[in-house]
Amino acid sequence: MMRRKNFFEPLFENEKFENDKMNITFNLPEGVDPNNVEIKHEKNAYHMKYKTETKDEKDGVSFSSSSYGYFSRSFPFEIKNPHAEVKENKLFFSFDRGEDT
């Protein structure tokens, strides 16, 4: 397994770094209600969870289905000043780099 020398390099193409600020953009699946997106952070990690629900009624019978998505990533440094926002089926998450852990 190859290790990166600089842990503040992008690991995925949806990650953008500028100085000590990280911006991450997630494309959410169609049908995800922004109210069903939850993002939490710990000292050096973040966790994103979302839920999709579909409901349909036909001939007096109701159908519904739910699915969940989960993503997590940790860093060898603290996450400072996190901010998350959902717009147009995209989750925008940003934070500042803190001290190494």
In the chain the domains, ranked by start, together with CATH numbers, are 15-100 (2.60.40.790)
- pLDDT, tens digit (0-9, with 9 covering 90-100), for 69-85: 898 989 889 999 999 99
Tell which wins on pLDDT, 44 or 15.
Answer: 44
Please report the pLDDT score of residue 45 as a whole number: 93
CB 101 within 8 A of CB 94: no
CB 93 within 8 A of CB 84: yes
Nearest-angstrom CA–CA distance, 28 and 87: 10
Please report the pLDDT score of residue 36 as a whole number: 87
Residue listed under structure tokens 């770094």: 17
Residue listed under structure tokens 């969940």: 68
- pLDDT, tens digit (0-9, with 9 covering 90-100), for 7-36: 445 556 778 878 889 998 988 888 788 888
Please report, for residues 36, 62, 67, 93, the alpha-carbon distance to residue 31 in angstroms, rounded to integers and kept in the order given.
10, 18, 11, 20
Position 84, amino acid: A
